[in-house]
Amino acid sequence: MTKHPTQRSVRFSKLVSDYGAEFFRDALTRFIVRFNNPTFTSRQVETESSSIALPFNSVPVFHRIKYTTEDPYTTGGPSDSVIDSIHVQPAKLAANGKGFPGRFDTALVNDGSGKMIGTDGYRVAQVRAVFSFKPQHIKTLFPSDASPPTYLAYIEWFSPFPSQPEPHHLMYKIKRSLKEGSRMVSVIPVANIRRSVHLIPKFGPVAPPEWTREDILRILPLFSAGTRLCLEDYFDAHLTSVHTIVSDLSLHSYEPEVTDTLLGTLTAPCLKRLSVTGWFSITGVTSFFDRSLCPLTHLSIAWYDQFSDEMLALLGSPHARDIVDFDVTLPGALMPRKLADALSKHDIVPNLRALAFRRGVRLDEAKVLEIHANRRPTLQSLWLDRPGLLSQDTVQALKSGGLEVMLFSDKD
């Protein structure tokens, strides 16, 4: 948590209108009663909380929870820790008049019995507000020998995890928890939040165009996070995919605003494999890497726009240092010379072991030989879309130098 709150004082009415914390006062009084009386039943808590008069109507508010969490896809111990963040902030209007939608991330909450692995003892919730008490109010609300949590979160619950995941994709189907039509809410210690969690909408045959990122969590049944996420053809451009622990992400769309919206909002610190197809902004991909700081090892780009220096900047950035497999599809019949020049430099994508070209891109044979010579022995394989892209003499020279030359029919 930051040393100081994002907002030093936010009135309860603002928490309701701007943060969506509709039942904030009721949830807070229930927390106070339960903390002071841990043996009370739920009925006793409800009865007692109705008689509490809070001596304040505003609280300090924080817009972000940030902590380290173990990388679930590696086994290197503390060295493999990644930064996880949960954003909790209302919509705002910039000085230039541009509006920014609110962001209220979903999280995995430990009920006190959760273990290091498994879903037992955990439940998904959407975090609507993170706040703390002012010192003078702690003395009023709690016994003198009590030590209430420093940071609290107002959350909206989703249904408990089923005993088994869905058989076809091994993800858990959950939905909003409601009581008499209203969302079930609680105030909990921030320490009970294990990490962020990514929810995937279960679309029907057609995704209604009126869905917006502000209300999509309200409308849809949702799936909790898996290790792989593939979005093809249609995806609501207004959806905010805020934070995900997926290690393998595929974005296949022909609408640039779809891919650019996702890349502009997504954070994926555990991502190892990324495949992007269609028209999209390369700078958007770079910005996505800047936010995620992910240990990317496999990158596949099928880019239907004209080649630009932005691609070279991406390949020359620190984000590409760990890439071992680069699969590229570009417009035009001839591989751009700038790309060929870049790939021939051993300090560009320095750990590259497999290079692939699709869509029948005609290759400059001298450049291919140069790429191999400068990257030997790290580069081990060259994959081609179809036979005939290189002459037999060039293929033989590459193979003699220790490079495997193969067709995608062998790979796929």
Instruction: Label residue 257 by pLDDT band (50, 70, 90).
Output: low
Q: Are 277 and 302 a contacting pair, CB within 8 Å?
A: yes
Return the SS3 of 38.
coil
Check whether 180 has a pLDDT greater than 50. yes
- Residue 199's pLDDT is 78
CA gap 247, 253 in Å, rounded: 20
- Residue 410's pLDDT is 43
Instruction: Label residue 154 by pLDDT band (50, 70, 90).
Output: very high
- Residue 223's pLDDT is 34
CA gap 48, 37 in Å, rounded: 10
CA gap 89, 154 in Å, rounded: 13
CA gap 68, 80 in Å, rounded: 10
Determine if the pTM surpasses 0.75.
no
pLDDT in tens, 367-390: 889 999 998 889 999 888 766 778
- Residue 230's pLDDT is 43
Check whether 185 has a pLDDT greater than 50. yes
CA gap 34, 49 in Å, rounded: 9
- What would the mean pLDDT of 173-185 be, rounded to a whole number? 84
CA gap 295, 195 in Å, rounded: 19
Q: Are 246 and 270 a contacting pair, CB within 8 Å?
A: yes
As a whole-number percent, the residues of the chain with pLDDT over 90 amount to 26
Instruction: Label residue 251 by pLDDT band (50, 70, 90).
Output: confident
CA gap 189, 149 in Å, rounded: 6
Of 80-84, 121-125, 131-135, 343-347, the least confident:
80-84
CA gap 268, 82 in Å, rounded: 10
Q: Minimal CA–CA distance to 323: which of 279, 285, 284, 362?
A: 285
Check whether 409 has a pLDDT greater than 80. no
CB atoms within 10 A of CB 283: 14
- Residue 153's pLDDT is 96
- Residue 281's pLDDT is 82
- Residue 67's pLDDT is 78
pLDDT in tens, 208-235: 555 555 544 443 333 333 344 444 433 3
Q: Choose the most confident range, by mean pLDDT, from 49-58, 89-98, 297-306.
A: 49-58
Instruction: Label residue 127 by pLDDT band (50, 70, 90).
Output: very high
Alpha helices in 224-324 (DSSP H): 256-265, 282-292, 309-315
Check whether 31 has a pLDDT greater than 60. yes
Secondary structure (DSSP) of 104-138 = E-EEEEE-S---SSSSTTEEEEEEEEEE---HHHH
Q: Are 47 and 59 a contacting pair, CB within 8 Å?
A: no
Q: Tell whether omega for the bond before 208 is within 30 degrees of 0, i.e. cis.
A: no
- Residue 389's pLDDT is 74
Q: Quick one: which H or E segment has residue 15?
A: helix 12-17
Q: Quick one: which H or E segment has residue 33?
A: helix 24-36
| Integer angstrom CA distances of residue 90 from 103, 318, 406 | 6, 33, 52
pLDDT in tens, 305-360: 666 788 888 888 898 999 999 988 876 655 677 888 888 888 899 999 999 887 65
Q: Minimal CA–CA distance to 74: which of 306, 322, 353?
A: 322
| Integer angstrom CA distances of residue 172 from 115, 142, 183 | 18, 39, 20
